[in-house]
Chains A and B, each alone.
Chain A
Amino acid sequence: MKFKDIIKNKIVLLDGAFGTQLQKRGLEGGAIPERLNVENPELVYSICKEYVDSGSDIVYTNTFGANRKKLKDSKEVETLIKAGVKIARQAAGDKLVALDIGPSGALIEPLGTMTFDEAYELFKEQVIAGKDGADLIVIETMSDLYELKAALLAVKENCDLPVMASMTFDESGRTFTGCSVEAFAITASAWADALGINCSLGPAQLLPIMQRLVDNTDLPVFIKANAGLPDSEMNYSVSAEEFASIYEKYIDLGAGILGGCCGTTPEYIAKLDELRKRKKIGKRNRKYQTAVCSSTKVVYIDGVKVIGERINPTGKKAMKQALMDRDFNYIANQTIEQVEAGAQILDVNAGLPQIDEKQMLTEMVKYIQSLTDAPLQIDCGKPEAIESALRYYNGKPIVNSVNAEEKSLNSVLPIVAKYGASVVGLTIDEKGIPKTVEERVRLAEKIIKRAKSYGIREEDVYIDCLTLTVSAEPDQAVNTLKAIEILKSKYNIKTVLGVSNISFGLPARQIINTTFLTMAMHAGLDLPILNPNIPENMQAVDAFNVLTCKDKNCMTYTAKYADYAGTQIIKKDTEKSEGASGDKDIFYCIEKGLDRASVLTAELLKTHDALQVIDDYLIPALNRVGDNYEKGKIFLPQLIASADCAKACFDAVKKNLPVGTNTEKGKIVLATVKGDVHDIGKNIVKTVLENYGYKVIDLGKNVPPMTVVDAVKENNIKLCGLSALMTTTVENMQETVKLLKEHCPDCKVMVGGAVLTEEYAKQIGADKYCKDANMSAKYAGEVFKK
């Protein structure tokens, strides 16, 4: 029998706990249980056999933790997995054997230090070692969606076996790393043959989570709950009888594949075997919902959702420059700003002829995902770059875009299908942009049909009927809208449209933009791509949601516009006046970190030239703050508040400078060394240095030594700061310093972090030990003075 056949219309039983059975047989905790496959195969056999005898249709192999991270080496992985499969095979008889793969035990970036590729390689080894002899593969107890993705791809790309995947959730329906059950369902449905929930809690607590799972997938679902929660002597609270009686409700929900996790025994499986004889699997009638997600946030496309357009160099000078300089700070600001302004999805585009788009796009996707929960739209037409970005994306994204040209359809759609993404289809082909409504509809239909042939659902195709400039082609705006209307009435697709091109060449563009946006939403536009920082754009969307009953009781609208006055939402003045403010000079305001400092700066600029303001006011004020900090007159939060406030002043000054004037005091590379993921200290230093007017190239955390060297070389850096928190990672700091001194002898190196001392810093060859952010700023002052 095959897995796909036995799950058809029949309740199928998995096995129960393995570890619990080992403990019962007196095995000492803390040993590696997979080694028993070689050391005591009879014992392992007897456990498998007991489950088969009590009714299991599928038994898992004793290979949960058999990966290279937990074992000695690849050889041992292979040996233990092959032995485990063999034993299960013998015990299973005509029942099925599932090769069991658990989490690697290490954490993938950005939370941990393992790369996605390393995780993939670990799982690949397991799959290759165990695929012969197994009937299917099960990936279980996952808490990181990204790791699950690596494992699922390792299965799909290295064997033809069906695969079940389950994650572990708490009562709130999230895993330890924050992945929601909905995000799991929406993402993993692309690769798995069945989805499930296992471990963590008893069956009663997991039932509502199973409901959420079946609401978000059409795949068969399975459950392996714990026998309740253990006490400090590891006794479990739910009996076999009670366990089976709660499982009835799972069957009613449509879960037809049942088993047990920690604390369950063959007795529990036997009870489930009794249960299944008198139960029929409940009908599942779910309506497919179009959605995209990150691992922590799902956006259902069930009304107008806004895609932020700002992370795109096309026509945006500052973003172009940021990409060329690899200035990720700028990208971070654009990310945060757009999400705060109300964008639910962010478009990411790295299309510049001067840069390697594949590499940059992938890097940006990873980086932006570390900053925000918002799902992303991968904006690129090059299949190779799209594939790379899709592979490293965590969740279900949108690909923007495919068009109706044969070349595009044939190269982009297979990738979209493989990675389970949604796709934007542009109504354009070899002949260019069509002029008629009918032709647009025809091209859309071609895309929809072709997408379906690759297994991409209609609901996951988002058609872009294309905005043309109305001043150049006055009759086309109406055609675009009409096409949207027709397509929405005929198909279950979604529609997407970039809005702002409409007004090109006209005065007061925003008036046209807002009106066109409103008309398009009325015609059936689901996903406008726009600049969410322009209030009129978001206002139109917010109003539309009220008028179409999407904003229930006008809650969102009321909350957002309660303080609305005129064209600007008035920012409440948070600054408290401290006595008479007239005599408070700029020095005082910077020292106290008061927002008024930037107002005073503007005043000063009326009577002083810009560089004078910097040299005579801002820098001396900051120096005074630094002195106070050094003397212990102020403490860290005050230093940061002052530095923050000085930055606002610098920004005010920069606005007054002629374009091209260089106020940058110097470029500094900062990094938290390889192996270290604690980067709050480095981030404090970064804040302070930036606010002193330095340009900081922040390489982030867990940075390999050579990456630091490359950045220093490439940017001709005079000062590099390294941070390490643990005694165990100071070695990597030493290595980095050594390489820097070899390759870039002109670059000064300052180091800091909890475990470092003056003496230690000297020992590892650093030029300077900086005990805090203030000291770093001071040292930077010395270095750049020379």
Chain B
Amino acid sequence: MKIDKSELLRYLGYKGQEYGENIEQNIDRAVAICLDKITPRSIIKKYSLIKEPLSLKGANMTLQGKDIAKHLEDCNEVYILGATVGFEIEKTVNKLMNENPLLGVMVDSASICAIESYCDDLCEELQKQNTKQLTWRFSCGYGDFPLSQQKDFVRALELQKRIGVFLNEDSFMMSPQKSITAIIGIKENTTKDIQSQRCVGKCDNCGNVGCQYRK
């Protein structure tokens, strides 16, 4: 896992502005605090895919929406993934927002980088273990894949018991906030290319064109 400083800045709305040493030093501090306070945990399970209706065999989980169907077009099997960087970092950010908000927003941003990078690592590792090409990870809320399906991930992966991720059943928010669930397809007919596991094309697939974080 690595915390990329340019990503950290991007989440804070950075667009090439000049900044002084006080900001620079805080970035380094934020990265150090983040690495100290995260406890990355994950769980991955493999399932066969049933096409009609699109669902995971033995998991009692139907996948809704056109976008996920398109994403898994060429797949007979999938991995589902749950990952988190834990509560400690969240508590740290909450505390810092009282004591030192400048550092607080930076640590928060660093923790977004951490969970994203952690998931990238997990996917890359999966790709290494597989002879077939994997799709990039697809999460609830991407395109028309409904947020409400978060429920199915949490249940199927027993996220609360295994990695300490809780779901608010009204808002579908996960706690710790820096947690990710995703589905990764195993493609049947595509040549393998490890590079594609990194976050490429994710933004292209999203309908929110005006998003300030769009790459």
Contacts and interface: CB of A to CB of B under 8 A. Distances in A.
Interface of A: 28-31, 69, 103, 105-107, 111-113, 141, 143, 168, 170, 175-178, 199, 232-234, 332, 336, 370-372, 576, 578, 592-594, 632-638, 640-641, 644, 675-678, 680, 683-684, 687, 725-729
Contacts of A332: 98
B54 to A, nearest CB: 15
A638 B169 contact: no
A315 B160 CA distance: 47
B179 to A, nearest CB: 11
Interface string B2-22: 000000010011110101111
B193 interface: no
B79 interface: yes
A371 B23 contact: no
Q: Considering residues A31, A632, A687, which has the most beta carbons from chain B within 10 angstroms of its beta carbon?
A: A687
Given A30-B61, A30-B156, A103-B160, A677 B173 contact: yes
B15 A729 contact: no
Contacts, number: 145
Would you list the 8 A-B pairs with minimal beta carbon distance, nearest first?
A176-B164, A30-B60, A728-B171, A683-B97, A107-B166, A687-B101, A675-B171, A640-B102
Contacts of A638: 17, 19, 23
Interface of B: 9, 12-15, 17, 19-23, 26, 39, 44-46, 58-61, 79, 86-88, 90-91, 93-95, 97-99, 101-102, 104-106, 108, 147, 152, 155-156, 160-161, 163-164, 166-173, 175, 177
B171 A29 contact: no
A593 B26 CA distance: 13
Contacts of A637: 12, 19, 23, 26, 102, 105-106
Contact of A29 (B26, B58, B106, B160): B58
Nearest to B172: A728
A674 to B, nearest CB: 9
Given A29-B58, A178-B87, A680 B108 contact: yes
8 contacts: A106-B168, A175-B164, A177-B164, A178-B87, A233-B46, A637-B26, A644-B101, A728-B173
Contacts of A578: 20-21
Chain A contact surface mostly: loop
Contacts of B173: 676-678, 725-726, 728-729
Contacts of B147: 726-728
Contact of B59 (A29, A178, A728, A729): A29
Contact of B17 (A69, A105, A635, A680): A635
Contacts of B79: 232
Contact of A678 (B60, B172, B177): B177
Nearest to A370: B94
B23 A28 contact: no
Q: Considering residues A30, A233, A578, A729, which has the most beta carbons from chain B within 10 angstroms of its beta carbon?
A: A30
A549 B58 CA distance: 62
Contacts of B101: 640, 644, 683-684, 687
Q: Considering residues B93, B105, B106, B172, which has the most beta carbons from chain A within 10 angstroms of its beta carbon?
A: B105
Nearest to B163: A176
Contacts of B17: 632-635, 638
A758 B12 CA distance: 21
Contacts of B21: 576, 578
A736 to B, nearest CB: 15
A576 B24 CA distance: 12
Contacts of B86: 176
Q: Considering residues B9, B12, B79, B161, which has the most beta carbons from chain A within 10 angstroms of its beta carbon?
A: B161
